[in-house]
Structure 1
């Protein structure tokens, strides 16, 4: 071999070595970057797990306190809330059996008693004299809800507290409330129980969404007396990012360095109020050897290859060694040992390729969350493990089951005979309920489910998915009826819903949603003063789909927002048409959904439409359903204030159909109150009682300068009746049914 060939070969070897070194260097950089990202995500996951655990501890404490109060409220159902002596004796007994520092029992008139722990001292209270935080939660509980206050300072216990309240029922009516204090020290005690997943120390706090401390860790990075995360001398936060995350109710994670040490910080939103777990944990930060590969070319190629081969062999060894563990994690439920849904799907899809005589049964435990709260997590876990054992015992060869979610199970049963399936399902049900006898408990476990067989499928292209979807659909639709088979009637219902959803956009684009108008009559002048916009879906082939079919579905899938905006524009178009004809004394009322009403750009959107048609906002009445108002009075009234500034009027629709209360009405800044037709319907059974209620509502509305409208006026007798009550306006079939635009114009527009 001559020198030229030798030189060429050396060049080739050198070039190959260079290329391999570059490849290894590139791979090393990629691995280093991947490792950094994985380390970042692992630390984030670790803090998330810890924060979630602290969150669970706090929420378990609150759940336990709420359950304790409900237990007390059950004891008070047969106690006369107007007898304060008797009320206090029972409250004192109840308080001795709980950890609450202070308890109240208050009747629906706002009068009650107060009990201090370990003090047998009768204290009479009036809700109007108690702190505002207590009044707020008392009002919520009078509406049938449990409630929790913000943190406030209590002179009684000389410290910061959180108050909880639950309703007390007499028959089906709320007769009063039970209220108790939890001290902030109890939350501090709960958070002081360390949750260790590594050797690092946790700095765990509780704050509200404004950054104010509720509970501060005894061990802290910043020792100053700060009441907010934003006014500490120690600046470790990107305040803009944190404020944006907290205001949106989002979790937040970040890293920061302090005195040469790296820390991770995590904000975890709680399910109650606007509280957060605020967790800081020390983390290590070391530059990996992969990051220092700048001198990699100085290391001989063979050593690099040896390192790569060595680590490849190590990784392969680890993977082979842990293959079984990884398989178990992927395919088997950690608690019960049952299949997970992904493995269950694989098995079922494979079995259905060769045999079609199968059915899928989906079932749930009714009120499992309540069971978990009552009997505890350990009891619930044992129950789930017991269910798995029952299913093991009652499934044959080539039959399978899985646990999906907390209390949902699927069974793949080799049968399409309904009698046989129900016999076996009943046996499974009975054996599951035996768990209560084993545990010596008297609670009645409810089990409900849906069943779909292969032979009942309309679409057999993906049988497993279709069978499971159908079983889940019928389980959710008929959850109060035990176990139900998917059949033709259910198919028709689903088909109708699918038809509506598949055609709703087409119908909107092609003007199939028609505006109908029903007059509202001024009872002083007996003339039409307003018209309510109602929607009818009249297809191009002349068939009609009525609102009770599509409105609930649109509220679920969010399409109601598009339809509301379309109908709002139709209303403005009609109002312009009337004004162009010289009719300027008829306003238009139009319903607004919750989804649309609380959008940030809602007012701008409707204002742009009224500007487009040149109609005055004062001639538009926005009708809001009662349930929308009570979710958040302050937010609702803020939106109303903005609408009023734009000139719009607001009406609360269907008042009396839900949990209406006079104090609710007094807190709303509305212009009009539409009283539900149910009041007039109930007059057939108890006219005098309904009269008293209606009179009270109308009188209160007048004092609040709110116009009243009664719906459902069907005859002259009802008209005379509401006239005597002093109602302002009426609406109903006595005057007119909802009319098409043409019929409305012919009847009312001369």
Structure 2
């Protein structure tokens, strides 16, 4: 921090002289004596100065002490400080024990960062001197040792009250200190400003207001009037400081409306009298734009006049802090709000749960829009977005007394109503269920749960979600002939959409893990390179295709149970082979986007790997490219962390989504798999364009060090085209269909 001079200070003169020290010779000259042989460092850590220097330092008003930078031992104290501290002998310990009465060095000690070019200013609070001091410190090197020269200067602003003879620098110094100490916490910074401002001018109260516009997300103000011609705005109170030493009622205290209106229109410093109270209004401006206002109530007029020349500088500091506060609020809102619906998001729900858990009772409403994917496919994404915004708007109307409404992602919403009686919540939830099932162009499945203790809020959320999926099953059964995605699903699939049922099927060995081998094709002979793990569901000897049960599990957000099961099965089988001394090759496992964004995802994978002592490079993680379209930020963060842990990331279904190149540029990817839909058209008629595109992609991946794999290869023509294009590996029925574990390992 730059040196803030306090005019007329003898110590400043001394320190300004010391600031020019370059070597020992200049030290001799500046102090006015030729022989510095008496300046010695002895084994008792005492630092003796010539009588001239001693006399000089003992006859100034400021307190001076010198410390050893390494040990913090005081090696010199001048007479005024010795007397003030009541010391009988000067060299008795460290600066933190003598000055501050502490057992260990002060955390705020600036000696580590002080250097030969600058003074560093700190405030001594609650020190042995029982007063508030500013300490100015600077390093100096003598005889290969570093010492810190400290001058403790008593503040001219005593007890935060401005003396009438203070200078501009005296007034501003405390604000700069407050600013530097609290720059990363604008709310505390602004309150400290108000506190010091109020006490220094002996005011009853100081208010801080922030400028806001009265518009909602639809461009209308809170009263519903169109804002196309006039944008209304106001100043909203955000902070209040009051003088605790005076009788002052802080309840419902606000600045008069006419004062605030005047600030918005005139934007100049003004004095007002309102109901026998005197107000001083200061607009807070940044680049001629009003950010807010500071209102001072019943200040000492003489002290206020003394402060007036400093208003501009003080307000500039406040404007910077207020701007920082506004920017932090905008960043927080951006990260905690869903950009489409303007509801709170999943991250905000996690943040709010601790405060909600203290509620004595609360109700949870879990909502899932029915058939949203089908709407997006048939009517367009814009239509789907419109339905999501309508759902959000309906929730805000129906739960208008609750601020806890969230869009969890995709088609899911949740509303939490704290401190509501059970019978009231039942009436509310029945109304919402009836409203969401009514004919309005779309419908939603609604699940509810009420608890009498917020401590079990997570259980209530889970129960409401389960209740919602019970309603969702009814929708699927009713609309299965209208909804193409679920047309082939039967009641058997609906019945497994419960976590307990899925775990039961896993225990009964109904989920079977198969291996789809991969083959290297660059060379004279194709060689097996590994496999992809696939899963099949068999119930009562009936094989349920993955295209049936996987979408159902994804819709219910239960795919993580199957993903973890397959991953652990592969690890277990690898460990069994290794224990027999047999060879293993990498086997990739698929993970849905719902699994990837789960908070325990990375920890769970590492836990399973450690259990079976398998290194992550043996199990590449296949991620569907479609994952990046809905949760791209989360996917980037997770894949980057997993890559650092040694996992290889493979992008599945490459070439069928809209973000191919963007995916490669943004994600930490080891390999990509071309989707079967691309491979199906190779060798069939005019495929020149497709061949050219695949060739460009393969060449690009080679330059990026990314392995290329083609899935769904079924004939020799497709294999030869891919080989000529430089594709690394293929998988498909041409070489092998999905096979059981023993058949796969026999191929090795």
Interval containing the TM-score (normalised by the shorter chain): 0.3 to 0.5
Bigger fraction of residues in helix? 1
Larger radius of gyration: 2
Normalization by structure 2: what TM-score?
0.42
Query: Which structure's relative contact order is higher, taking Cα pairs within 8 Å and 6+ residues apart?
Result: 1
TM-score scaled by structure 1?
Answer: 0.41
